[in-house]
Amino acid sequence: MDLRLMTSALAVALGISASASTPVYLDPERPLEERVDDALSRMTLEEKVAVCHAQSKFSSPGVRRLGIPELWMSDGPHGVRAEINWNDWGYAGWTNDSITAFPALTALAATWNRDLAALYGKNVGEEARYRDKDVLLGPGVNIYRTPLNGRNFEYMGEDPYLAGEMAVPYIRALQSNGVAACVKHFALNNQEKWRDNINVTVSDRALYEIYLPAFKKAVTQGNAWSIMGAYNRYAGEHCCHNARLLNDILRGEWGFDGAVITDWGGAHDTRQAALNGLDIEMGSFTNGLTSESDFTYDDYYLARPYLDMLRKGEVSDSTVTAKARNVLRLIYRTAMNRDKPLGSVTTPEHYAAAKAIADESVVLLKNNGLLPLDPARYRKVLVVGENAVRHLNLGGGSSELKAKDMFTPLDAIREAFETVDYAQGYVTGRFMYNDEDIIPQATLDSLRQQAVDMAPDYDAVIYIGGLNKNGFQDCEASDRREYNLPWGQDLLIEQLAAANPNIVVANITGNAYAMPWADRVPAIVQSWYLGTMTGPAMADMLTGKVNPSGKLPFSFPKRLEDSAAHNFGEVSYPGVDTGDEGPRQEYLEDILVGYRWHDTKKIPALYPFGYGLSYTTFTYGKPQVEVTTDGDAIRLTVPVTNTGAVAGKETVQLYIGDDKASVLRPVRELKGFVKLSLEPGATSAAEFVITRDDLKFYDESSHAWVDEPGTFKACVAASSADIKSTVPFRLTTEGKLKK
């Protein structure tokens, strides 16, 4: 039926003359805000309250009387989650909800490729659109603070600039499908242990310089239509109804006009939820938090209790009108968006996109010449490790995916080599949420010995282990217990290396880990949860069909205590339990997160942020520097040449350091990156523009970003620790940039 005929029919149902003009709120030709205003004028108090809370596990109501549709949400952001039952957490058992499993966002960050971020958002958005979802819960941009955080694999690394730059094109492309991004988890959700109520204390400077910039870019540049609050507390208030985060910063400073949605069960108080910027309350259970029953969605904090407070005059009607306005704006942008395209799912184009992202994400950490493995030379290969066959789309909590296809590393390696055998090496048990199977040591010993005994008989050994999405690994709701690899893998790798020197360690994880065996193996590959195309991406990289170009989005400390969050004792991580007031935590490393800590404190990482090798070599030329005539910017151009024998891609990174400041500053901070694609012998230029904004730090006393006159250094680099050239420049007292 034509949209105007539909609105005419609805007008009749509403008692509006059929000859009258289309109601403003249903007229797609009217400006959005006019439609919202008109819809609000027609809604009752009860209808306004109703749109502010869930009606099922993954939906919130519209206004049925007015023909305003409900909102349907889905977990993401690595793919559209399988359908969940209306009123419990069981899977609905549909046969048409299988999807493409895209690489985890940690993998996307490792590509350092903004174009791939847009490709990712476009494709996952098409699948969400096909599944009739209005809101995809992602991307996640929380900062990688500790390698023990079970949810790091869902985020985009330790640097706010990298995370923000990758999030913006993802969000824009996703929303071009008429599907809202719901950027999460706002804010300071940097661990899973005690996540529901830990109270985080952090300086304003660290908040603004490290933990907020990616969210700000998502809002001000990505124009995200919704934001998800975090479970934890900040300054004593839960983040899902935190006055400073939501009222002052998100809406006041950044001008956010979308809807704030709780994490599931993240609301704790009706008055705070009413006053402190929350728009939609979703729940883990039907009373929002603790218990399950058939008809208790009205018991949510923003349901009957809120309506009662409004009727008694305990909170102003303006609060619910503001919330309903934000929710309606989200509905018009998604469910009522007449311009949204048709969706599609598990298409060849989506698989190709997943493969392209996976290809550029894999990081080559070490290579003494063994890689790439030539199938003509290495004809008989032994693959060891459970992750070679395990479907890593399963488990992990809300990121679990029902993939139509999962191509495993073992299957892809078998297609590449003449003879391939497999030994499991270790076993981890079932995918379990916040729980785990206990594997008998005798079982682990037996599997290890079997693999070690087999290893000498092969031309090469490919070890594919690491972590998985079991509880206490890379999994929502629990943190890792140790920095080393679990299930005896360190001993297994050491013994395999002793049995066969031609060993490639190609681990799959979403986190850094200790490598006590690093000096004993000739090649180390860091892979991620790559989804549907895991196997083909890993096999093509190992055999040289794809030249690795991934760069680490976070540092790999040599030891856990080398990580900044773990340098200050329990009060810094995981926090201390104070009894009635709950656990509390202090971010004592302040702004020195990740490479900022390693470089400033001169504690070298095992593998630094931004690091990654290639099968070719790149030579960096001398930077050319030009100051604009107005002195407001510096243009820096550096030529890069592929001096090897194969085509490759190199990410050129720009870091800036402040020689002398009135406050503590890191040695250098990432301020730009360019990924170049170069044929053998070819030269291309990476171009950067430096402005005063790149020099600023957050001043707590003035609540403002400031720069100070003085000398700065622009560092062209292949990683945070591999500086190719340094260019000094000045900021004058007149606020002008000079060589």
State which fold the 616-738 domain adopts: Immunoglobulin-like (2.60.40)
Residue 726, token pair as written in the block = 């340094």
Q: Are 227 and 219 in contact (CB under 8 A)?
A: yes
What would the mean pLDDT of 40-55 be, rounded to a whole number?
98
pLDDT in tens, 349-369: 999 999 999 999 999 999 999
Residue-wise burial string across 487-511, b where 16 or more C-beta atoms lie within 10 A, e elsewhere: bbbbbbbebbbebbebbbbbbbbbb
Q: How confident is the model at residue 322 (pLDDT cuts 50, 70, 90)?
A: very high
> What is the reported pLDDT for 668?
98
What superfamily would CATH give domain 22-333? Answer: Glycoside hydrolase, family 3, N-terminal domain (3.20.20.300)
Q: What share of the chain is helix, strand, coil (3-state, %, to 5)?
A: 30, 20, 50
**Measured in whole angstroms, how far is the alpha carbon of residue 643 from the centre of its chain?**
34
Name the one residue in this structure whose structure tokens are 């880990």: 513
What would the mean pLDDT of 365-389 be, rounded to a whole number?
98
Max Cα–Cα distance, the chain, nearest Å? 86
Ranges of H-type helices in 312-347 = 317-333
For residue 659, give the nearest of 721, 708, 694, 606 by alpha carbon: 708
Count CB-CB contacts under 10 A for residue 433. Answer: 18
Q: Strand, helix or coil at 124?
A: helix
> What is the reported pLDDT for 538?
98
Give 252 or 580, the one with higher predicted confidence.
252
> What is the reported pLDDT for 76?
85
Say if residue 30's pLDDT is above 90.
yes
Q: Which amino acid is at 692?
A: R
**Percentage with pLDDT > 70 across the chain:** 96
CA distances from 686 to 129, 401, 549, 613 (A): 37, 38, 16, 18
Q: How many helices (H) and strands (E) does the chain have?
A: 17, 28
> What is the reported pLDDT for 11?
52
> What is the reported pLDDT for 12?
45
Q: Which amino acid is at 660?
A: K
pLDDT in tens, 141-166: 999 999 999 999 999 999 999 999 99
Query: Between vectors from CA 165 to CA 163 and to CA 167, what angle results, nearest 5°?
Result: 65
Q: How confident is the model at residue 580 (pLDDT cuts 50, 70, 90)?
A: confident
- Calpha distance 54→264 (Å, rounded): 10
Lowest mean pLDDT across 10-14, 345-349, 442-446: 10-14
Catalytic residue among 263, 474, 540, 658: 263
- Calpha distance 391→410 (Å, rounded): 11
DSSP state for residue 1 in the 8-state scheme: -
Say if residue 317's pLDDT is above 70.
yes
> What is the reported pLDDT for 285?
78
Say if residue 172's pLDDT is above 70.
yes
Q: Strand, helix or coil at 280?
A: strand
For residue 372, give the nearest of 454, 452, 460 by alpha carbon: 460
> What is the reported pLDDT for 161?
98
Q: Are 345 and 130 in contact (CB under 8 A)?
A: yes
> What is the reported pLDDT for 296?
82
- Beta-carbon contacts of 359 under 8 Å, excluding residues fewer than 6 positions away, are 537, 540, 541, 546
Q: How confident is the model at residue 294 (pLDDT cuts 50, 70, 90)?
A: low
Q: Strand, helix or coil at 263?
A: coil
For residue 373, give the nearest of 549, 619, 548, 552 by alpha carbon: 548
Q: Are 100 and 162 in contact (CB under 8 A)?
A: no
CATH code reported for the domain at 362-554: 3.40.50.1700
pLDDT in tens, 677-715: 999 999 999 999 999 999 999 999 999 999 999 999 999
What would the mean pLDDT of 450-457 be, rounded to a whole number?
98
Identify whether 374 is a catalytic site residue: no
Work out whether strand 523-527 and strand 503-508 pair parallel, antiparallel, or are unpaired.
Answer: parallel
What would the mean pLDDT of 195-202 be, rounded to a whole number?
97
- Calpha distance 22→28 (Å, rounded): 10
**Percentage with pLDDT > 90 across the chain:** 92
> What is the reported pLDDT for 20?
56
Dihedral sign, Cα of residue 506, residue 508, residue 510, residue 513: negative
Work out whether strand 648-658 and strand 633-642 pair parallel, antiparallel, or are unpaired.
Answer: unpaired
Side-chain half-sphere CA neighbours of 301 within 13 A: 24
Residue 346, token pair as written in the block = 């598990």
> What is the reported pLDDT for 4?
42
Residue 361, token pair as written in the block = 């994400």
End-to-end Cα separation, the chain, in angstroms: 65
What would the mean pLDDT of 434-462 be, rounded to a whole number?
95
Ordered strands of the 59-60 beta sheet: 59-60, 71-75, 135-137, 180-186, 226-229, 259-261
> What is the reported pLDDT for 295?
59
What would the mean pLDDT of 639-654 be, rounded to a whole number?
98
pLDDT in tens, 57-77: 999 999 999 999 999 999 988
Residue 500, token pair as written in the block = 């066969």
- Calpha distance 306→48 (Å, rounded): 11
For residue 531, give the nearest of 359, 342, 344, 343 by alpha carbon: 359
Residue 403, token pair as written in the block = 């993939």
- Calpha distance 329→327 (Å, rounded): 5
Q: Are 465 and 489 in contact (CB under 8 A)?
A: yes
Q: How confident is the model at residue 436 (pLDDT cuts 50, 70, 90)?
A: confident
- Calpha distance 174→334 (Å, rounded): 11
pLDDT in tens, 588-605: 999 999 999 999 999 999
Examine domains 362-554 and 616-738 and report if their fold is the same: no
What would the mean pLDDT of 306-315 be, rounded to a whole number?
98
All structural domains of the chain with their residue ranges: 22-333, 362-554, 616-738
Residue 413, token pair as written in the block = 């390696």
Strand partners, 642: 618
> What is the reported pLDDT for 372?
98
Say if residue 213's pLDDT is above 90.
yes
Q: How confident is the model at residue 581 (pLDDT cuts 50, 70, 90)?
A: confident
